[in-house]
Structure 1
Amino acid sequence: MGLRGPRPGTGGRPRKSLAEKVTEGNPGKRKLKVLDFEKIATEPEGVEMPPPKEFLSAAQRDGSTLSASELYKEAWKWLERRGCAELVSPALLERYAVSAARWIHCEEAVSKYGHLGKHPISSQPIQSPYVAMSQNYMKQTNRLWSEIFAIVRDNCSTEYKGVSPQDDLMERLLRSRRG
């Protein structure tokens, strides 16, 4: 049985960010959690990172190790520096890290085996299955990061500008290709 309701970012009235609620006078009158990035940069405090689960660094069939554990830690540290670590579910971070690691793994396979493959019956050239898998993992990674970033964006009083772990994924991919 699937999940019910619209996916985040689709359908329904969009949620107001904290900055909008503060500007408009907080019509719901609930206590608002305000994240001040200026203060957080000088006085970091947060919760302890849950240890990454074993499957995030599982051995892969080709003998390599899944790099999801590293991605999980990077994303957690990024959230912790912004005071948002306790707001994001570790399960959401795990899904993001696994998806990003799988995307990197598929891109490495495309680099190793090429963009084309051979059809098993006709032997005609076809698109490598790694290309399609890579595209799917990238879409999933971007969607999951959007969910995580929405939590940060919706809980801060100023607009966040700066580097995020999502920005570093391409750099990680390029580093992995060098060996």
Structure 2
Amino acid sequence: VERGCEKLVNTQLIEQYAVSVSRWIQCEECISKFGFLARHPTTGNAIASPYVSMSRDYMKQSSQLWFQIFQVVKENNTTAYQGSTPQDDVMERLLRSRKGMN
């Protein structure tokens, strides 16, 4: 809001970013809770947890969406931004939840 670019960023883009980050956090919480391994549904053998690949995909998607949002702000702003970003807040919440502090 301080930069005056909020009206230039497509609201659907912001919503997609929020959903993607939310799903990434959910996957990371599941990895913390259930671990990196899972059992194969038919053989019972150990396999990589599906949450790991889903988390990676959502993180990649979130980053791509964030860069699209950032590009709009960057192109329409004349002064550099100094301060925390939404990603800093997400990481802080994620780290707090992994320590059981939430």
TM-score, L = length of structure 1: 0.53
> How many residues are aligned here?
100
Q: 1:110: which partner in 2?
A: 31
Deviation of 1:81 after TM superposition, in Å, equals 2.3
1:126 aligned to which of 14, 27, 47 = 47
Task: Measure, in 2, the Cα distance between the counterparts of 1:115 and 1:92.
Answer: 31
Higher relative contact order (CA 8 A, sep 6+): 2
Task: Measure, in 1, the Cα distance between the counterparts of 2:28 and 2:89.
Answer: 15
The 3-state SS of whatever aligns with 1:162 is: coil
The 3-state SS of whatever aligns with 1:158 is: coil
Deviation of 1:162 after TM superposition, in Å, equals 2.5
The answer to whether residue 9 in structure 2 is matched with residue 91 in structure 1 is: no
Q: Does the CA-based 8 Å contact 1:96-1:144 persist in structure 2?
A: yes
Q: 2:91: which partner in 1?
A: 170
Deviation of 1:122 after TM superposition, in Å, equals 2.0
Q: 1:137: which partner in 2?
A: 58
Q: Could you list the runs of 4 or more consecutive aligned residues of structure 1 that deviate by over 3 angstroms after TM superposition?
A: none
Deviation of 1:89 after TM superposition, in Å, equals 1.3
Gap regions ≥5 residues in structure 2? none
Letter in 1 for 2:54: M
Highest Rg: 1 or 2?
A: 1
Q: Does the CA-based 8 Å contact 2:3-2:77 persist in structure 1?
A: no
The 3-state SS of whatever aligns with 1:138 is: helix
TM-score, L = length of structure 2: 0.90
Task: Measure, in 1, the Cα distance between the counterparts of 2:93 and 2:2.
Answer: 21
- The structure in which a higher percent of residues are helix is 2
Identity among equivalent positions (%) equals 55
Task: Measure, in 2, the Cα distance between the counterparts of 1:110 and 1:81.
Answer: 37
- Superimposed CA distance per residue, residues 26-49 of structure 1 (whole angstroms, 9 cap, x where no aligned partner): xxxxxxxxxxxxxxxxxxxxxxxx
Q: Does the CA-based 8 Å contact 1:114-1:128 persist in structure 2?
A: yes
Task: Measure, in 1, the Cα distance between the counterparts of 2:73 and 2:22.
Answer: 22
Q: Does the CA-based 8 Å contact 1:153-1:160 persist in structure 2?
A: no
Deviation of 1:157 after TM superposition, in Å, equals 1.4
Counterpart mapping for 1:1-179 below 5 A: 80-177=1-98, 178=100, 179=102
